[in-house]
Structure 1
Amino acid sequence: MKNLNEYFGSNIRDKNIVVTGGTTGIGKATAELLVSLGAKVLIFGRDHEDFNAALEEITTNYPDAELYGAPADVTNEDDIKKILDIVDLEMGGIDILINNAALSAQGITDSDDWKYVIDTNIKGYIDFAQQAVSRMKSQKSGHIINVGSMSAEVRNPESTIYVTTKTAINGFTAALRKEINPFGIKVSLIEPGAVMSDMQPGTKEEQREKIEKMEMLDADDIAMSILYTLSQPKRCDIVSMQIRPLLQII
């Protein structure tokens, strides 16, 4: 067995990584972890304050970090072009895509903005995956991680729209892997249970209490799962991973 520092860092160091929805929650925790291992990371999110706060916190913790990004919305074509320009002109390409930008939603009887949620949670994933693959094909390597949700399995009736989007991501990931595997590109699905985030009901303090009770995960738990997935040798392909809080009975 290799030295663990080398094991977890060898596939990360100096890689160009894009994290959609990288300004809060799972995305931010993942970006900070990858930066700490020497990756060049691009983050973005639609909220300007969240973006600036994430940028400041990560660069404060890691002054030598190569961190890129801008406020951007995955449903906006001009914003997508802005992010891709940074990828191509400043970073010099993309090795890893972590599709994470998503919104919560209730059922069809309670949701008025469900079309925007669909565009964010499904179209946003497809758009960035397509752009990543177009850049990865020539290098015969790459890794796309789609962050899904256990909601695709639980199918809670109070969140029909969200369940629909995460079920779609489950199927999209499985088919995409078969499509682009011949190009040497890995595709993995990470499906968390309840994770502390802005998408969860309740205050931050209430969510921290759930973490203490082992009824909820911390965003760092998912970041570590993503790191483990990315750290495997080329011969080893983690297709899907489900991570649940110990006492969240699903």
Structure 2
Amino acid sequence: MKNLSDYFGRNINRKRIVITGGTTGIGKDTAELLASLGGNVFIFGRDKDDFDQAIADIKQQAEGDVCGITADITRREDIELIWQEIDQTLGGIDILINNAALPAGGINDEEYENIKYIIDTNVIGYISFAKEAVIRMKAHGHGHIVNIGSMSAEVKEETGTVYVATKSAIRGFSAALRKEVNSEGIKVSHIEPGSVISDMQPAPKEEQWDKMKKMEMLKAEDIAMSVLFCLSQPLRCDVVTIQVRPHLQII
């Protein structure tokens, strides 16, 4: 086998990479990793403070360009602005990491407007960004879309009915999208993490870190490495689905 650094970097260096929800958690760690391998990375998120901090952190180790804007994936006008910026700054897209998502409880815990906002973020956001990415990828005959799902689609926990619905949708969407676009030279991978330390978790960070030490939670960088593995395969090889679970999270 060739040098592993060449293996993992060959499909990343100078590639135009868009990461939705790239300002925190899995998105940010993925942006840091891919930028460190020479990828030209575009991120966005809703919170300006998170965005500014993420850009500064990612640039510290970046070998590629790092850019982005503050925007809300549920707003049509913001989506149009994001793609205008992507086209102007990157000149297109080679890789899309669909990651922007919000936590949610059961239908008895969530108000209608919040449920709608969560679905717009967790489902419509993925579909709309995949649609725009495919349009651009088809023009040059190649591309890779990685959808970050959740083990909730398999566990179907009763305390997260709304979240389960959105991540089950992403599981089905990913499988069907791969069939739709593979003939265009576009790969689709779907990654389902188990419990990951993040701001989405209801528990305090100290409690989350304690669970990680007990091997009951993952770190965001664990999922970033799974993204890299999917992206690093030769053209002949598709990594279709990966499930990543904490060692002692019994699902």
Pair in the same fold by TM > 0.5: yes
Please report the TM-score for the alignment, with normalisation by the length of structure 2. 0.98
1:45 alignment counterpart: 45
User: What's the CA shift for 1:17?
Assistant: 0.3
1:91 alignment counterpart: 90
Q: Deviations over 1:132-183 (max 9, x none)?
A: 0000001110000000000000000100000000000000000000000110
What is the correspondence of 1:95-134 to structure 2 with a 5 Å cutoff? 95-112=94-111, 113-134=114-135
Q: How many percent of aligned residue pairs carry the same amino acid?
A: 61
Please report the TM-score for the alignment, with normalisation by the length of structure 1. 0.98
Structure 1: distance between partners of 2:65 and 2:81: 18
2:22 alignment counterpart: 22
1:193 alignment counterpart: 194
Structure 1: distance between partners of 2:212 and 2:6: 30
SS at match of 2:70: coil
Alignment root-mean-square deviation, CA: 0.8
Amino acid at match of 1:30: T
User: What's the CA shift for 1:65?
Assistant: 4.0
2:6 alignment counterpart: 6
User: What's the CA shift for 1:87?
Assistant: 1.2
Amino acid at match of 1:154: V
1:230 alignment counterpart: 231
2:14–2:64 contact (8 Å) kept in structure 1: no
User: What's the CA shift for 1:119?
Assistant: 0.4
2:217–2:246 contact (8 Å) kept in structure 1: yes
Structure 2: distance between partners of 1:54 and 1:61: 12
Q: Greater CA deviation, 76-85 or 234-243?
A: 76-85
- Structure 1 residue ranges, 4+ long, deviating more than 3 angstroms after superposition: none
Amino acid at match of 2:47: D
Aligned length: 249
